[in-house]
Structure 1
Amino acid sequence: MTGAVITIAIVLILAGGVTASVVAYFRLQRHRADAVAMASYRKLAEEASAGHQALQQQLGTLDTRLKAIEHLLRSVG
């Protein structure tokens, strides 16, 4: 009777260890996939930021030109 209990306990411990290992493996795989997705989002954010800065520079240039045109029109009129 004691031998059967010890055998069942050992089998349950082994099954628990295998289950924990499989769960840890798939959790690691999911984490790696999330890391790859976050890297692509970070790259997209950097590109959007660079585009935003370029747009700000263009708007600054247009603002300067518009002020020059307004000054010219006021001086003519």
Structure 2
Amino acid sequence: MFQLKKNVVSEVGFEPTQVAVRHGSSGASPSFHSKYGTPLLIGGAAFCTTVWVLTSTGITWNLSPVGKVQPKPWKE
């Protein structure tokens, strides 16, 4: 098993544990999720709730005039 790890490290050039430690220590700056996570979650829930309420009211939302506008009779 040790020989396999040695071969992988020589192929890749670094150990995966070193990368994990390096990326894990970047706690000084806040991440995207900690900055914008809650407002995005609240906004998405509000949007979905609004769409659900508007579509469940039974209003016909077809605003297209196709099939509704009839031509006037021809005057001779």
Q: TM-score, normalised by structure 1?
A: 0.36
Q: TM-score, normalised by structure 2?
A: 0.36
Greater RCO, CA 8 A, separation 6+? 2
Larger Rg: 1
